Every structure is written in C-alpha cells, then in structure tokens.
Amino acid sequence: MDRWALVSGLQGDLDLYEQIQKELKQQRGVANLFVLGDLIGSQHNCNALLERLRQPHRADVQPECIYGWWEEQLLAECGYRGERKADGLREEQGEAAVGDLLAAVDADHLNWLASLQFGFIELDCALIHGSSADVSDRLTEDTSALVLLDRLTRLDVNRLFTARCQRQFRLELFSGSIQSHVKDHAGEHQSEQAIPKRSVIGIGGGRQYTLYDPATDHIEFRIAEDPSHASGRGFG
Amino acid sequence: MGQVCLISGPPGCGKTTWALQKLQEHSGPCAYLRLEGEKEAGLEQGEDSGIDLAWLKDQVPRLEEPTADNTEDLKQANNSLTLIEVQRFHPPSQEGLKGFGEDVRSKLKALQLQPDQLLHFGRDHELPAKDTLEFSKLEAWHTSLLGCVWDPNSLSSFWFELVNGAYGDVYRAKGLMNLPDGRAFFCNWMVSQQSSQFLPLDITAPPQGRPDRTSELVVQGKALNPKGIQATINDCLLTDDVLAMQQQQPTSQG
Amino acid sequence: MNHAVISCLHANLAAVEAVLNDIDSQGIKTITCLGDLVGYGPQPNEVVELMRQREIPTCQGCWDEDIIDGLNACECSYPSQLAERRGHRAHHWTAAQLTEENKAFLAELPMTLRRDKLLFVHGSPNSQHEYLLPDMNAYSALERVETAGAETLFCGHTHQPYVRELRQGSIRVKVQQRDQDIPTEHELELPMRRIVNAGSVGEPRHGSSKATYVIHDDSTGEVTIREVDYDVVKTCEAIVDAGLPVVFAWRLSHGFEYAERAEDASHVCER
C-alpha cells in the first residue's frame, strides 16, 4: 500500500533528513514524502539540505516540499513579500536571528524557495504548514474545535495535516450540530447543520514525523533515531 | 425519392430547433440550407452569418450543404432529407413557391431544389405552435467574433445585460462564442422564452491560441445601442497575454 | 435604545440623504456606518462630507482603503474581466475626484468599531474583503463572531441585508496523542451569536432598487431591516453627467450591483 511520510522542521539538518530517508526505506510501502515547510532555520547552514531536496539521490523517496514559517521569514526579509519583512522572527528571537537566517541560506536558493506552494491538496487531505488561514497559524489539540472546523471548511477537506505547532496528535470532530436562523427581505428560515466527520492531524517537527495510509486512514507517529547515535551504531 | 422541405417563419420562432430535431431523428443522408428572405419595410433581416449551419453541423456531423453537385445524389437517395430554412416575418400570401421572392426562387432553381412541402410557423400545424411575435419595426445588428475568446464570467454578465435591456429592447439574440478552454457555446435568447439557452458545441478546439471557426453575434430588437454593446464586448474579450496565461494553466489549484 | 447601522453608501448622495431622513424622522440619534462611502457612484466628495459633518462613526470599507492605497492594496478578486475593467474605471474616476482632505479622512478610518459586545466591521473581522453571506457555513460564521470576542457582529459588503442567529451549537471531539493509547473525548458547547448585515444604502442588490439599512434595539435585541425609496433617476442622471459608464446607471436603476459578484455570474459556462 502507498503510504505517505510527513516531515517538517528539518531546519537545514541534512543528517536528520538522511536518517529519516534511511528509516523510510526500511518501512515498506512509503511512496510519497511530503516536507511541510521549515526546511531552513537559523541554527544550521541549510545549503546542503536544500541542494539534496532540490536534487534528490536516486535512492531517496522523492521529496515534495511546501514553504513554512521559516521560509516565509526569509522570503519576506529578502523582499519577496512586498513591504513586509521578517517581523515574526524579529519579534520572537531578535535581530541576531534574522542575520543568522540570512547567513544560513545562499541567495541562489531564494527563487526556488519562492516557487514553493502554500500547501498540497491530496485526495480529501490538505497538507499545510500552519493552516488555511495563515502559514504562522499554530493549530494544536487545544485549539478551539470551532477554529479547527473553520480551517477545515475553508479548504473543503476532511483531513488537515499541520506542522507549525511541532506536535503529534490527531483530533477528530465526530458529532455535533448547530441551528441557523436567517431573516431577510424574503422571509425567515431555519436550518440545522451537522458536523461532518473531519480530522486535524499534527505531524510533529524535527525528529518527529508521521506516516499516513490514505487507504485505511491509519496514522503512525514516529520519532527518528538521533542521527549521531544511529551512525555510531553502524546503521546503513 | 428523397424529401425536400422548406420551412419559414419570423426570427426566434424555433426554425432551427425544429430543424435540429428533424435532422437528429432522420437516419439517412441529410442536407440543410438557410436562405435570406425578402426585405420587408421597416424590418431588418438578422444576418445569420453561418451561426445556424455551424451549430447544426456540430450536432449532426453528417449534415451536408446542398450544392449543385450533391443535390442529384440526395434526390436519388430514397431516404434523404433536405431542409431549407427561410426567415420570413409574415406567412406567404400565395400558394407554393410563388409566395416567396425572386431571390429565394432563383437560389432554389440554381440548386435544382423543388420542395415537396412548404411549412410556415404560426400557420401550419405540423410545426410547433411557439410564440410568433407580431413584428412591426425591428433593427438588426451583428458582429463577427472570429478568433475572439471570451472571459467566461464576463460573457455571463454581458449576456445578462444584453437580454435584460441594458443596450435597448432586444427581442432576439444568438451567437456562437469561444471560451479559453477550447469549448464553444451556442447562446440563444428570445424575448418570449423564459431563459437563455447555452448549449455547448460537441466539437472543441485545442486550447491553444485563437480558434479558427465560426463565431458571430446577431441581435434583433428596437432602439439598439450598438456602441454600448461593442464597448462591453471589448471589455469581455481576452487579450493575447491573458489567453496564453489561461491556456497554460487550465485549472487553478486551491 | 434604538440605533441605526448603515453601510455601502457608494457615493450615492440621494440615497444617503433619504436614509438619514428616515433615521432622523424616527428620532434615532446613534448611527454607525460600515464603510464603502465611495466607489461607482457619482458624488464621492458630497457623501464623505455629509458623513463628516454629521460625525457618524465609520469603519473603513474596501473601497475606502483602495482609494487611498491604490489598487494594489485590493485583495478583492473581481469575478470577471468585465467587472474588473469597470471597477478600475470607477476607481480612477473616484480617485481623481476626491479632495485630499476627504482622502485623508478615509485613510484614517478604523478597521473595526466596538461598543460593548457589539462589533462593527465592513466585510468580516478578518478582512474588509471577506463576504459573510447568509448561507455561509454556520460554524465558520460563528467562528468569525466568536474569535472576534463579540456577541453581535454588524457587517456589510454583500449588499444584501439579513439577520442570522446561530444557536445550540456543539462539537464533539476525540483526541489521540502520540504517547497515549486511549483517545480522550470532550464536547464543546457553543454560545449563541448573531450576524447582522446592514445591506446597502447606495448600491442595493436585494431584488429592488430601494436603499436598505438596519435598526437595532440594544435592549430587546430586535433588528428591523428598513427599505427606503429615493430618487434613483437623479443619481442615474448624475452618473451619466459625470461621464461614468452608462451601464452603471442601468444596473443601479434595476437593483443590480454595478459589478456583480461571482455567485450570480457563473451560471453560463460552468457545465
């Protein structure tokens, strides 16, 4: 069966990416690898990972990438978002982090990063970094179900996979209803709307990644082995 | 012997719709000819510009146009049907072909076509009794849209305005319009009908550049504002750049 | 106490005057305006000055924003090329007419106004450009009001007045975490919330050419949708005299918007 691997928050860590690739090869039937943003960060030099993602090895499960919060910061700072700058990053981590980020990514990767999409729609699933409202939207299992339902509705999907919160969870909206009463010039009418069965899935970030089987709707939350330990123990 | 039938009637009475139904029901060889009727005082014949023939040929691909060369074959074939359509505001005052003008008669003679049956909408019960408006004064306007491609939503707005009176009292409007995805629509409206028909042609053009096929608009009515119609059409038609862009990305992604 | 909410004036002076007269004649003192003072109509300066003179609290509509920031600021995607070209013509005409003082006034309008649990916006709390239509997904509609921390949300932008009450809502959820074997379940009970759309004074499109607005009684919560006759012909003549597209006058006099939205323009070619 063709399963999907969902990864995010690599932040330039090529060793981690190679470790995950290794684990995916050991798993049977993983056909798609979706990298839901934050390919880059300010901590590592990101160029080697970006080159690998852009030009995968033949044996790699071929990655499909979208942009995330860190890409948004870099692209904004480099003038790809009109007047906006890396305001979010400045606010959270200060000026130095902006400088580190600029230094971590070569300018010749910018156009490729700018070409990445906001999200993918696969079958009835949306694969997104934050949410349908914004790349920085941090959805967790504690977010109001009303907000989660709205984010699902905006894309008209049954499952929304999100990475921004870096948590692994599955939240299923499975029942409920609401009454709507409308009065306008034509008269009044009342209707009831029921909750469709829908889910929001946090795929995790960094070493945490998720496998999903669209045929059975089965989800497996995984943690990659620490690459330094793994190679020490002689894998591969 | 094959059958030759001539139908006549005022604009929008349903001649082409009836012809399409007959041709679709008919299993043998078939041909169709549209002739301009004679001029009447104060009433302009709507230029057809090939809309009806293009529409019928799309729907009945085996349809032929009668020529001096093929009429003999059609006559000989036992199961052939030739339909001749003439736009005519009033029923003929004389029996047979005498009731039609010299133009019609000479064209039929040149093609050696002798109708077995002459039917007029509003007079003969063989034809559906659709509304046949009393026309006293009618203006006609037409434009060629050859190679033009419409922005689909703009076409919808334009048609809405056109048939609801934004550019004069329109009694009749019909056209063949191209869309960027290669489809074309036969748009048809008559003041007495409830709504417009938008019928897709069966044949689509490859969505590359501008299609080379019949595309026309004919409008009949009173106090028409051709300048206004043309100005709005110009706002609806796609430029080369936009067309190229839309054809590159036929579907948008969410 | 009764207060009136008006929206989408669109530079139609005759309609604005008729509505203000109707409000005054009922002795209502509090009026709130939800923006779009200008755009399409022929009297942008006159309408802005009337609102300034009457000191009516107003939030900024998408047209008010765009006339200041230029068309690039507009996220509204026009439903068609025709609507876009007409919109741009109206934009350029309006931008050329407006005085600097009136532009400055529009530039400083707030995005939202709040009075206790009442929130006033042009489109939605998220954006001046979002349409809250009466048939919008009920949970999403409730989310807009609830996330904004309001009990009643007043909006415009759609030009169709309505009152919508969302009640007895609930959502049951099941949460599975990585390190938990058994999912937990809980239920969210949702509060009752209301959305009131004030319709349009200057560009009605609810099936008639009458100007519309709403009156809200904040002690009983009752909302009345008002329809007011005004001299449409006068505004139509002003449109033609101003050199704006003649078709604007035709659309206004028939109760169609100057440039329709996608919802009613898609029926031709979708199949």
Would you state the pLDDT for residue C206?
76
- CA–CA gap between residue C48 and residue C11 (Å, rounded): 8
Indicate if the pLDDT at residue B213 is higher than 50: yes
Which pair of tokens denotes residue B115? 């109708």
B166 touches C at CB < 8 Å: yes
Shortest distance between the Cα of B247 and any Cα of chain A, in A, equals 20
Would you state the pLDDT for residue B253?
42
C46 touches B at CB < 8 Å: no
CB nearest B153 (choices: C80, C86, C250)? C80
Name the least confident of B141-145, B200-204, C65-69, C256-260.
C256-260
Shortest distance between the Cα of B125 and any Cα of chain C, in A, equals 34
**C133 to chain A: nearest residue by CA?**
A182
Would you state the pLDDT for residue A235?
41
Shortest distance between the Cα of B254 and any Cα of chain A, in A, equals 7
Cβ atoms < 10 Å from Cβ of A118: 17
**C269 to chain B: nearest residue by CA?**
B152
Which pair of tokens denotes residue B69? 């060369």
Contacts of B162 in chain C (CB under 8 A): none
- CA–CA gap between residue A210 and residue A163 (Å, rounded): 10
Would you state the pLDDT for residue C179?
79
- CA–CA gap between residue B85 and residue B35 (Å, rounded): 6
Strands C30-33 and C2-6: parallel
Which pair of tokens denotes residue C106? 């529009």
Which pair of tokens denotes residue A178? 């609401």
A173:C227 CB<8 A? no
Strands C2-6 and B216-222: unpaired
**A155 to chain B: nearest residue by CA?**
B254
Contacts of A179 in chain C (CB under 8 A): 138, 165-169
C260 touches B at CB < 8 Å: yes
Indicate if the pLDDT at residue C262 is higher than 50: no
Walk along chain A (236 residues) and give the pLDDT tens digit of each residue: 689 999 999 999 999 999 999 999 998 889 899 999 999 999 999 999 999 999 999 999 999 999 999 999 999 999 998 888 999 999 999 999 999 999 999 999 999 999 999 999 988 999 999 998 889 999 999 999 999 999 999 888 999 999 999 999 999 999 999 999 999 988 999 999 999 899 999 999 999 999 999 999 999 999 999 877 655 444 43
Which of C269, C270, C271 to probe by mutation at the B interface, max B CB count within 10 Å? Answer: C269
- CA–CA gap between residue A88 and residue A73 (Å, rounded): 7
Would you state the pLDDT for residue C261?
46
Q: What strand order describes the sheet that includes A208-213?
A: A63-66, A30-36, A3-7, A208-213, A218-223
Which other chains touch chain B, taking contact as 3+ CB pairs less than 8 Å apart?
A: A, C
C190 touches A at CB < 8 Å: yes
Residues C258, B161 contacting (CB under 8 angstroms): no
Contacts of B253 in chain A (CB under 8 A): 117, 121
pLDDT band at residue B37, thresholds of 50, 70 and 90? confident
CB nearest C188 (choices: A145, A181, A204)? A145
Which of B153, B170, B243 to probe by mutation at the C interface, max C CB count within 10 Å? Answer: B153
How many structural domains compose chain C?
A: 1
A155 touches B at CB < 8 Å: yes
Find the mean pLDDT for residues B209-231.
92
Place of tokens 């089965």: A218
C170 touches B at CB < 8 Å: no
Strands C152-155 and C193-197: parallel
Q: A207: left (phi > 0), else alpha (psi -120 to 50), else beta? A: alpha
**C172 to chain A: nearest residue by CA?**
A175
In a domain, C271, yes or no: no
A155:B253 CB<8 A? no
CB nearest C164 (choices: A181, A204, A221)? A181
Which of A84, A134, A151, A178 to probe by mutation at the C interface, max C CB count within 10 Å? Answer: A178
Q: Any idea how long chain C is?
A: 271
A117 touches C at CB < 8 Å: no
Q: Where are the domains of chain B?
A: 3-120, 139-248
Contacts of C170 in chain A (CB under 8 A): 176-178
Would you state the pLDDT for residue B254?
36
CATH of residue A222's domain is 3.60.21.10
Give me the DSSP letters along A24-46: HHHSTTEEEEEEES----SSS--
- CA–CA gap between residue C110 and residue A179 (Å, rounded): 32
CATH of residue C133's domain is 3.60.21.10
- CA–CA gap between residue C221 and residue C1 (Å, rounded): 10
Indicate if the pLDDT at residue C255 is higher than 90: no
SS3 C43: coil
Which of A150, A210, A221 to probe by mutation at the C interface, max C CB count within 10 Å? Answer: A150
Q: In chain C, pLDDT over 90 holds for what percent of residues?
A: 74
Q: What is the pLDDT of residues C97-144, one digit of tens each?
A: 999 999 999 999 999 999 999 999 999 998 888 899 999 999 999 999
Domain that holds residue C11: 2-264
Place of tokens 């409007």: B173
- What is the phi/psi pair of residue C166, to 5°? -115, 115
User: What radius of gyration, in Å, describes the C-alpha atoms of chain B?
Assistant: 19
Contacts of C79 in chain B (CB under 8 A): 153
Give me the DSSP letters along C90-114: HHHHHHHHS-HHHHHHHHT--SEEE
Over the range C173-207, which residues count as b (16 or more CB within 10 Å of their CB) and which as e?
bebbbbeeeeeeeeeeebeebbbbbbbbbbbbbbe
pTM of the complete model: 0.79
Would you state the pLDDT for residue C66?
84
Residues A152, A140 contacting (CB under 8 angstroms): no
CA nearest neighbour of C242 among C73, C97, C77, C61: C97
Q: Where are the alpha helices (DSSP H) in chain A?
A: 14-26, 47-54, 69-77, 87-93, 95-104, 110-115, 145-155, 227-232
In a domain, C244, yes or no: yes
pLDDT band at residue C265, thresholds of 50, 70 and 90? very low
In a domain, C269, yes or no: no
Shortest distance between the Cα of A160 and any Cα of chain B, in A, equals 14
SS3 A51: helix
Which other chains touch chain C, taking contact as 3+ CB pairs less than 8 Å apart?
A: A, B
C204 touches A at CB < 8 Å: no
Q: What does the H/E/C string look like for C205-247?
A: CCCCCCEEEEEEECCCCCEEEEEECCCHHHHHHHHHHCCCCHH
DSSP C36: -
Contacts of A117 in chain B (CB under 8 A): 253
C81:B232 CB<8 A? no
For residue B222, CA distances in Å to A168, B77, B169, B180, B225 come to 69, 45, 5, 32, 9
**B229 to chain C: nearest residue by CA?**
C247
B155 touches C at CB < 8 Å: yes
Q: A206: left (phi > 0), else alpha (psi -120 to 50), else beta? A: left
In a domain, C231, yes or no: yes
A96 touches B at CB < 8 Å: no
For residue C36, CA distances in Å to B205, C62, C66 come to 43, 6, 10
CA nearest neighbour of B233 among B166, B145, B173: B145
Contacts of B166 in chain C (CB under 8 A): 247, 250-251
Could you say which residues from 194 to 253 on chain B have a Cβ atom under 8 Å away from some Cβ of chain A? 253
How many structural domains compose chain A?
A: 1
Over the range C58-91, which residues count as b (16 or more CB within 10 Å of their CB) and which as e?
bbbbbbbbbbbeeeeebebebbbbbbbbbbebbb
Domain B3-120 has CATH 3.40.1010: yes
SS3 B248: helix
**C266 to chain B: nearest residue by CA?**
B153
C266 touches B at CB < 8 Å: yes
Cβ atoms < 10 Å from Cβ of C158: 25
Q: What is the pLDDT of residues B136-192, one digit of tens each?
A: 677 889 999 999 999 999 999 999 999 989 999 898 899 999 999 999 999 998 877
What topology is assigned to B139-248 in CATH? Hypothetical Protein Yjia; Chain: A;domain 2 (3.30.1220)
B235:C251 CB<8 A? no
Domain that holds residue A11: 3-232
